[in-house]
Amino acid sequence: MLSPVLLIAIPLGFSFLAPLLKKGAKYIPPIAMLFNLILSILLVPQVMRKPIIVLLGGGWPPPFCINLVASPLGILLALLISLVGFLVSIYAIAYIKEGATEKYHTLYLLLLTGATGIVLTGDIFNLFVFFEILCISSYALVAYNGDKHGLESAVKYLIQGSIGSSFILIGIALLYGLFGTLNMADIANNISYHSLQSPTLYVALAFFITGFGVEGAIFPLNAWLPDAHSSAPSTISAILSGIAIKTGVYAIARVTYTLFSAKGFMIFIATIGIITLLIGEMSALGQKKDIKRMLAYSSIGQIGLIIFAFGIATYYGIFGALFQLVNHALAKSLLFLASGYMIYRVGSKELSAFEGLGKKMPLSSLVFTIGAFSLIGLPPFAGFMSKISIISAGIKANNTALFVFVIIVLFATIIEGCYFFRVVQNLYFKKSRDPAHNCVRDGCPTTQKSEMPISALIPIIILALLIVAIGIYPRLVTGIIESAAIGLMDKVGYIHQILGIF
């Protein structure tokens, strides 16, 4: 009975239930995500042996029916989504106090459901539907604070997101027109016969990459991201950064590897990744005021790194990309969550307001530092392991262009170090200013300690422990990432598993 479809159905059911519960709604997302977490952990051993193909609807064989594919990659990401989602939702219990809270929790759960659906589905149109679920709920959540900035950036996000979505739809339409099928394995099968010569395929690929690229935040398409991240509630920034843009990256990888297997195109993907990386990191260094915006730019940079690693197009590259994806999801959600209460306490998003917080909020500052170090890629934190695997993949590929890119990656790491150390020194080494400074809310800190509430502290500590644990004992995750990477490379196997079982 452990069907992977429950990963989608149960949260969906819960989210329909949530508005009925009013005050109790805030406990719904943790319950649903805990369920998902346990289920996906239970599924891992089974999936590692053989991917599970789940038929939906009448149970007709693909391509006639929608099917889910619980491959190692899908389960890995589902696991990640439920883990981060679970922790963030616990944090949100105390953090989200004002506004239409039950709507917040419902939308939040739906966002995660959408993300889970994206990574599990085996049908391109179904993927689009879940994409819309994810995007539309995130538009609404970005505006949750209800202030002018929130609305403005939500509208910006909405406009760009819908352009992206419509591009995806055009891409799907082109493929459907060409092959008469929506099943990804079937499309992939057809494309292998065609080989990538037909202009329709070119154009469809372009539409897909552009469309998914908007959500995946690759360079010129990511202008929504800094605004949205900085004006959303911190929990949502954490989810957007940790989960939502990852699904965009997943979709790009899925489309390029499984659907089109566009080998010659990959160096181009790597170039885009590198440009995204550079622009993101440099913007983050240039952003000296708003900490959330800085983190958002850094997300852009990290996404660039992940995409670059996908663009290396070897097993090692994909491995590094997935590893980095996992680590970045953990670290960046940690950073946003930690900064969430810091911002709340000091009443300002200004970097300078954080001076001396290390004394007032010691644990939050500590975990923030751990997250930042992990992102820079310092050992013994998780980020180091993934960064080193990406760099080694880049050098192993034995390609001059990639070697140059690797040097750029190293350069970007220096920039990353500059701006993260800037925050860390603000937290720890600068003297805090006048306690009344910037204080607008009640319960603002005086000189004494004012740590987060315990329910918010536990999730971020768990995240920090995970980062350290992965950094010291990478085997915790590398097994499933390895099989996920193999799965993503193995297009023929994917087609065979889905179309050939009947």
Partner 1 sequence: MRKIISLILLGIVCVGIIFALYSIPFGKDKIKVGKHYIYNGIKETGAVNIVTSVVLNYRGFDTLGEVTILFIAALGLGVVLYGKKKKRKEGLEPASLVLYTGCRFLFPLILLFGAYIFIHGHLTPGGGFQGGAIIASGFLLSYLGCPRKWISKERFNITESLGGLVFVIMGLIGLTIGGYFLSNFLPKGIANTLFSAGIIPILYCAVGFKVGAELAGIIYNMIE
Partner 2 sequence: MILITILLIAFGGAFVTYLAGKISGKLRNILAVLVSLALVVLISLIYRREISREYYTLPFLNLKLILMSNPLSWFFAIIIAGIGLLSILYSLEYMKDKERLDYYYFTLLFINASMLGTVISGDLLSFFIFWEIMSWSTYLLISYKGGKAIAAGLKYIIMSIIGSLAMLLVIISLYSRYGTMEISAIASYMQTASIGYTLFILITSSLSFVIINAFWPLHTWLPDAHAEAVSPFSSVLSAVLVRKGIYGLYLFMYVILGLNILNKLHVGFISFSSVLCGIGAVTIVFAAFTALVQEDSKRILAWSTVGQGGYMLLGIVFATASGMTGGMFHVLNHCIYIALLFFVAGAIEHRTGGIRNINELGGLIKRMPVTFIAALVGISGLIGIPLTNGFVSKWLIYKTLILGNHPFLAFAAFVGTWGTVLYGYKFIHNIFLGQLPEKYKHIKEAPLLMQLPMILLTVTVILFGVLPGIPLRVISAIQRQVALPPLQTTLFGIPKEAGELNMINVLFAILISCFIVWLLFRRAAKSVPVQQDDSYAAGSYVPKEKYHYTVNFYNPLSKMITPYLRDVASLFYLNIARGTQRVCNIIRRVYVGEVGYYAMYIVLFLAFLIFIQMFF
Query: Which residues are at the interface with partner 2 (CB under 8 A)?
Result: 155-156, 159-160, 163-164, 167, 199, 202-203, 205-207, 209-210, 213-214, 219-221, 223-224, 226-227, 268, 279, 282-283, 285-287, 297, 319, 323, 373, 376, 378-380, 384-385, 388-389, 391-392, 395-396, 398, 406-407, 410, 413-415, 417-418, 421-422, 425, 428-431, 474-475, 478-479, 481-482
For residue 202, the minimal CB distance to partner 1 (Å) is 8
Partner interacting with residue 323 (select from partner 1, partner 2, none; CB below 5-8 Å by kind): partner 2
Cα separation of 198 and 322, whole Å? 31
Amino acid at 447: T
Partner interacting with residue 130 (select from partner 2, partner 1, none; CB below 5-8 Å by kind): partner 1
The SS3 assignment for 473 reads coil
Q: Is 54 in the site for partner 1 (CB under 8 A)?
A: yes
Residue 214: both structure tokens together: 């908007």
Nearer to partner 2, 241 or 497 (CB): 241
Q: Which CA distances in Å does 471 have to 331, 390, 408?
A: 12, 15, 24
Residue 83-122 contact track with partner 1, rule CB under 8 A, x = bound: ----------------xx--xx-xx--x--x---x-----
Q: Which CA distances in Å does 388 have to 165, 330, 403, 410, 472?
A: 34, 17, 14, 10, 14
Among 28, 39, 87, 182, binds partner 1 (CB under 8 A): 182
Nearer to partner 1, 103 or 422 (CB): 103
The terminus-to-terminus CA distance of the chain in angstroms comes to 21
Q: Is 140 in the site for partner 1 (CB under 8 A)?
A: yes
Nearer to partner 1, 63 or 356 (CB): 63
For residue 478, the minimal CB distance to partner 2 (Å) is 5
Partner interacting with residue 27 (select from partner 2, partner 1, none; CB below 5-8 Å by kind): none
Nearer to partner 1, 200 or 438 (CB): 200
Nearer to partner 1, 126 or 276 (CB): 126
Q: Is 195 in the site for partner 1 (CB under 8 A)?
A: no
Residue 404: both structure tokens together: 């140059």
The SS3 assignment for 356 reads coil
Q: Is 500 in the site for partner 1 (CB under 8 A)?
A: no
Among 31, 34, 178, 462, binds partner 1 (CB under 8 A): 178
Three-state SS letters, 315-349: HHHHHHHHHHHHHHHHHHHHHHHHHHHHHHHHCCC
Q: Is 236 in the site for partner 1 (CB under 8 A)?
A: no
- Which residues, including other chains, have CB under 8 Å from residue 312's CB and lie 6 or more apart? 266, 270, 318, 320, 321, 390, 393, 394, 397, 402
- Which residues, including other chains, have CB under 8 Å from residue 32's CB and lie 6 or more apart? 10, 11, 14, 15, 109
Cα separation of 323 and 330, whole Å? 11
Cα separation of 220 and 236, whole Å? 23
Q: Is 59 in the site for partner 1 (CB under 8 A)?
A: yes
DSSP state of 68: E
For residue 437, the minimal CB distance to partner 2 (Å) is 18
Among 180, 220, 453, 500, binds partner 1 (CB under 8 A): 180
Cα separation of 110 and 495, whole Å? 30
- Which residues, including other chains, have CB under 8 Å from residue 130's CB and lie 6 or more apart? 113, 114, 115, 116, 117, 118, 121
DSSP state of 242: I
For residue 436, the minimal CB distance to partner 1 (Å) is 28
Cα 369 to its chain centre, rounded Å, is 20
H-helix or E-strand spanning residue 301:
helix 291-312
For residue 215, the minimal CB distance to partner 1 (Å) is 15
Cα separation of 338 and 315, whole Å? 34
Q: Is 260 in the site for partner 1 (CB under 8 A)?
A: no
For residue 378, the minimal CB distance to partner 2 (Å) is 5
For residue 80, the minimal CB distance to partner 1 (Å) is 21
Nearer to partner 2, 216 or 233 (CB): 216
Q: Is 174 in the site for partner 1 (CB under 8 A)?
A: yes
For residue 418, the minimal CB distance to partner 2 (Å) is 6
Cα separation of 446 and 430, whole Å? 17
Residue keyed to tokens 């800190």: 445
The SS3 assignment for 290 reads strand
Q: Is 203 in the site for partner 1 (CB under 8 A)?
A: yes
Cα separation of 461 and 456, whole Å? 9
Partner interacting with residue 104 (select from partner 1, partner 2, none; CB below 5-8 Å by kind): partner 1
Residue 92: both structure tokens together: 């949100």
* Residues that contact partner 1, how many (by CB under 8 A): 65
State the residues that interact with partner 1 by CB under 8 A. Answer: 1, 3, 5-6, 9, 12-13, 15-20, 54-60, 63-66, 99-100, 103-104, 106-107, 110, 113, 117, 125-126, 129-130, 132-133, 136-137, 139-141, 143-144, 146, 151, 154, 170, 174, 176-182, 198-200, 202-204, 206
